[in-house]
Amino acid sequence: QVQLVESGGGLVQAGGSLRLSCAASGGIFRGSLMRWYRQAPGKQRELVASITAGGRTNYADSVKGRFTISRDNAKNTVYLQMNSLKPEDTAVYYCNAEYAYIYWGQGTQVTVSS
């Protein structure tokens, strides 16, 4: 059974940093396209960043230069390093894995105060 468990969310002041982690179980991680999404209150879920099995990354324009996605295949974990956080980054952040099917984590809250 595939499980994705996010951690690392919290409350931070504008300009601060957080690192989110998503640990995957179920044997799919190495071959998976991994993504981070976020959903703010009253808004649609949006793609923040993605990383292929080979390590190619892609970012939403709103986070380019501030966020970095990475993966550690030995730990079956994908990370999202978030720097220079802004109040508009406040959202629930979800980890997503694509490997034949789509799998979602439960989400972790990130709140950026002004």
* Angle in degrees, CA 98, 103, 109, rounded to 5: 115
For residue 75, the model assigns a pLDDT of 95
pLDDT, tens digit, for every residue of 82-114? 999 999 999 999 999 999 899 999 999 999 999
- pLDDT tens, residue by residue, 7-55: 999 999 999 999 999 999 888 888 899 999 999 999 999 999 999 999 9
> Model confidence over 48-87: pLDDT tens digits?
999 999 999 999 999 999 999 999 999 999 999 999 999 9
Collapsing DSSP states into helix, strand and coil, what is residue 68?
A: strand
Q: Show Cβ contacts of residue 86 under 8 Å, excluding neighbours closer than 6 positions.
A: 14, 112
Nearest Cα neighbor of 91 from 31, 38, 32, 36 is 38
